Amino acid sequence: GAVVSQHPSWVICKSGTSVKIECRSLDFQATTMFWYRQFPKQSLMLMATSNEGSKATYEQGVEKDKFLINHASLTLSTLTVTSAHPEDSSFYICSASPDRVLGNEQFFGPGTRLTVL
């Protein structure tokens, strides 16, 4: 099946620093990638949708200057949490879809746990 990896799987950083999380589709080309955030005992919340070569579309309430998303190639998307603060601590999950056609399945990465001290 289609495999999506994330790196790192966990990261601890100091408040005020920036952290980059990578999402890679290992065996298919991902036209569309999605970034989710999950708080303990809560749902996955969609943060943004990115299409290769274009700007990401952010969901309402998500600060685009805070969460920078780059989808520069068909196999890699990055999420950078800028000037991280403790309230940004969360579990970040990406998914990738091989096509822009509606109805195409999303394949999920294993997630990255971010802890900001």
Partner 1 sequence: GNSVTQMEGPVTLSEEAFLTINCTYTATGYPSLFWYVQYPGEGLQLLLKATKADDKGSNKGFEATYRKETTSFHLEKGSVQVSDSAVYFCALSITGFQKLVFGTGTRLLVSP
108 binds partner 1 (CB under 8 A): yes
91 binds partner 1 (CB under 8 A): no
66 DSSP assignment: T
Of residues 10, 55, 104, 117, which one binds partner 1 by CB under 8 A? 104
Determine the residue type at 62. Answer: V
Task: Find the length of the chain.
Answer: 117
Q: How far is the CB of 78 from partner 1 (least distance, A)?
A: 17
Rounded Cα distance between 90 and 39, Å, is 6
4 binds partner 1 (CB under 8 A): yes
Residues 15-34 that bind partner 1 (CB under 8 A): 32
CB 96 within 8 A of CB 31: no
Rounded Cα distance between 37 and 44, Å, is 6
42 binds partner 1 (CB under 8 A): yes
Q: Which residues bind partner 1 (CB under 8 A)?
A: 1, 4, 32, 41-46, 49, 93, 95, 97, 102-111
